[in-house]
Amino acid sequence: LQYSIAVIPGDGIGPEVMDEGLKVLTAVEEAHGGIRFTREIMDWNCQYYLTNGRMMPENGLDILKDHDLILLGAIGAPEVPDHVSVWELILPIRRSFSQYVNLRPVKLLKGLESPLRYKSHADLDFVVVRENTEGEYSNMGGRMHQGTPYEMAVQNNVFTRYGTERILRYAYALAEKRPTKSVTAATKSNGINHSMPFWDEIVKEISLEHPDVRTNLYHIDALAAYFITRPETFEVVVASNLFGDILTDLGAAIVGGLGLAPSANINPERQYPSMFEPIHGSAPDIAGKGIANPIAQVWSLSMMMDHLDLPEISALIMNAIEQVVQEGKVLTPDLGGKATTRELGDEIVRHIYLG
Amino acid sequence: LQYSIAVIPGDGIGPEVMDEGLKVLTAVEEAHGGIRFTREIMDWNCQYYLTNGRMMPENGLDILKDHDLILLGAIGAPEVPDHVSVWELILPIRRSFSQYVNLRPVKLLKGLESPLRYKSHADLDFVVVRENTEGEYSNMGGRMHQGTPYEMAVQNNVFTRYGTERILRYAYALAEKRPTKSVTAATKSNGINHSMPFWDEIVKEISLEHPDVRTNLYHIDALAAYFITRPETFEVVVASNLFGDILTDLGAAIVGGLGLAPSANINPERQYPSMFEPIHGSAPDIAGKGIANPIAQVWSLSMMMDHLDLPEISALIMNAIEQVVQEGKVLTPDLGGKATTRELGDEIVRHIYLG
Ligand SMILES: CC(C)[C@H](C(=O)O)[C@@H](O)C(=O)O
Ligand SMILES: CC(C)[C@H](C(=O)O)[C@@H](O)C(=O)O
């Protein structure tokens, strides 16, 4: 078995955590004789932008398309506006490759404490399915009357039946495989009166295709509050692009922080490469200090293995992470420890060899 | 002094908590000889809609305009779609009366425990200034290709310079009066590339008008996470309509729940009546049981007194609430007690007479 990975370390702590991710990948190859991951490292980041005036080469997407998988660190630097760095790299990848599922587990690892007083790892274990190609992140819109008191900006949220059905179908199919078969869908149809009632209608339709799955539809404001008050009631949460984005950062916060939160940008039909990345950004404030937590990046590799239908390898990586966390001896500062990024990465690698 | 209040108890638990609010108002009048609040009760709610085909009479807004203040309970019933009940009552009021400031304190009362493990009332005391008239809640948009696979819905987010400047100016002016003079603004300019960069620019401009105020601009996803991890760093948080909505439900969750969270819909220029309401909805699941927490409703009266520049009366009400909560003997089930809505209301009234 051989897979080719396009590796985009990116900016800030991106390359730091990516180093550890790649070490883990090597350990996995060595632990598992029969499998190879070739890597092509791309230097596409904000520095590249400052030099070349673009975030990636003109044929960047073509280059990526020749790979089976994409592994991303983090993108963003103070010198480049986010809506440039993101809109010229991450978002085009998600969209051109129809990575319409952004899968984000919210899972408290054993040994870690949730900031929520009465919640333990038994209460915090669900997954958010975030729509990843349309909705509130559309580049449709613009400005008028610039430089006058009447200036205004309009942004169009675009929800298609096609895009909405496919993300909901994915969520319901996932829930079918879970113990309680429950889908929680985020809406805001009381305040947002065109797109969200449309979303609700399609939730209704798809739910009828899955009579054995229980559906809860909550307004995003209430749902955000429920993440705090009753996270144990969720199994599969499905949300639009923006709502999913907000819920997953919140999800990361309640399970110990962004340093731990992975994500998979999946093209379920496997026509295009899928992309695996931490939820966290490039964190310029701690970049260069060697203290970033590499777990989110390593965890994203475990999600990659799931995507490749290699459950034993996925479990090998997850177990290594869980053991290191539970032993609690080698942790980065965000988890209350004193270890460096590299030390934590090495410890995970050591546990992979241990099996 | 005499003020006339239009009272809209609404649906579900709305009338139940409103009863207690009105009792408190009477107590305040009796405790403070010189002040009178006349009340006109409006039966505008979902029942009214089912009978009359509209949420309020055709001249409803004119009727309201003749009052100094509006007191709302909660609107919404299972039989009427939210986007009808809300868009024909609450939102028209907020908009027609230029109640562009939605002020929502996030404050943990002494005696209550936050669901956040390491946070106490000293950590949880800030205010969210939510834009209340435009942004993501615009009724501009629609659908195309209904009934085909190509069906789509578009919703326009509309941000005007006028609307954005005025909410930011209000937030900065408020921060000027606070100890640390800090404004935290929510954005999402990395993902939402027209309206949010515009918002960021205006934040920049208004911040320059207030060189002594410190500004932090965070993406809404990160900010939601910070509400969990470091709420003690906030003083005045300012956000668009949708982001403010989400943040304030989250804020309510971290200070003990929606039963405690008040809000003021303010027209700062006082050309029109302002409206005071709990953040919670009509809660059909507990309606009729007499167990709803009336504190949010009563607290909204305290905000009303602030708006009327009656700080001693505002404090009288707040002190009564705080004493009842701190004594902890008469609390509704959401706060771990066994009291009914009425018993808790009576207890607050008793403390008002005690002074
Ligand atoms: C009823 C609904 C439209 C409303 C809103 O989102 O504004 C409510 O959630 C609130 O926060 O006042
Ligand atoms: C960088 C940004 C646009 C991105 C998003 O909002 O999608 C990030 O927050 C994420 O969640 O992957």
pLDDT at B151: 98
pLDDT tens for each residue of A32-68:
889 999 999 999 999 999 999 999 999 999 999 999 9
> Chain A contact for B215, CB < 8 A?
no
Does residue A259 form part of some domain?
no
pLDDT at B195: 97
Cβ–Cβ under 8 Å, residues B74 and B281: yes
Same domain for B160 and B85: no
Same domain for A221 and A124: yes
User: Ligand 2 mean position to B310 CA, how many Å?
Assistant: 45
Same domain for A62 and A28: yes
Measure the CA–CA gap between A49 and A46, rounded to whole angstroms. Answer: 5
Same domain for B215 and B138: yes
Does residue B105 form part of some domain?
no
User: Ligand 1 mean position to A39 CA, how many Å?
Assistant: 49
pLDDT tens for each residue of A309-341:
999 999 999 999 999 999 999 999 999 999 999
Distance of CA B301 to CAs A287, B156, B254, B310, Å? 48, 34, 22, 11
Same domain for A160 and A244: yes
On chain A, the residues whose CB falls within 8 A of the CB of B194 are: 139, 141-143, 153-155
Would you call A150 and B162 a contact, using CB atoms and an 8 Å cutoff?
A: yes
State which of B11, B70, B86 you would mutate to test the pocket of ligand 1, scoring each by most atoms of that ligand within 8 A of its C-beta: B86
Kindly report the CATH number assigned to the domain that includes residue A20. 3.40.718.10
- Residue in chain B nearest A281 by alpha carbon: B222
pLDDT tens for each residue of B199-227:
999 999 999 999 999 999 999 999 999 99
One-letter amino acid at B162 equals: Y
Would you call B154 and A151 a contact, using CB atoms and an 8 Å cutoff?
A: no
- pLDDT band of residue B86 (cuts 50, 70, 90) is confident
Does residue A108 form part of some domain?
no
Q: Give chain A's domain count.
A: 2
Measure the CA–CA gap between A125 and B21, rounded to whole angstroms. Answer: 40
Q: Lowest-pLDDT range, A215-229, B77-91, B153-167, B273-287?
A: B77-91
Measure the CA–CA gap between B80 and B10, rounded to whole angstroms. Answer: 13
Of the three residues B193, B227, B254, the one that is the final residue of a domain is B254
Does residue B266 form part of some domain?
no
Does residue B351 form part of some domain?
yes
> Chain B contact for A161, CB < 8 A?
yes
B176 lines ligand 2 (CB under 6 A): no
pLDDT at B323: 98
> Chain A contact for B253, CB < 8 A?
yes
Same domain for B36 and B79: yes
Q: Select the residue of A161, A246, A250 nearest B151 (Cβ to Cβ).
A: A161
Does residue A105 form part of some domain?
no
**Helices and strands (H and E) in chain B: how many:** 12, 12
Range of the domain at B121: 113-254
Same domain for A275 and A328: yes
For residue A86, pLDDT over 90 is answered with: no
The average pLDDT across B128-154 equals 96
Q: In this structure, which ligand is nearest to the CA of A193?
A: 1
Q: Which two tokens stand for residue A306?
A: 């799931």
pLDDT tens for each residue of B254-269:
999 899 999 999 999 9
- pLDDT band of residue B82 (cuts 50, 70, 90) is confident
* Residue of A75, A152, A158 to mutate for B, most B C-beta atoms under 10 A: A152
Cβ–Cβ under 8 Å, residues B302 and B109: no
Same domain for B26 and B94: yes
80-99 in B: which are within 8 Å (CB) of A?
81-83, 85-87, 91
Would you call A245 and B190 a contact, using CB atoms and an 8 Å cutoff?
A: no
Same domain for B92 and B118: no
Does residue B178 form part of some domain?
yes
Same domain for A73 and A167: no
Same domain for B237 and B118: yes
Q: In this structure, which ligand is nearest to the CA of B102?
A: 1
Same domain for A158 and A95: no
Does residue B128 form part of some domain?
yes
The average pLDDT across B262-286 equals 96
Task: Give the CA count within 13 Å in the CB-facing half-sphere of B278.
Answer: 32
Of the three residues A204, A230, A254, the one that is the final residue of a domain is A254
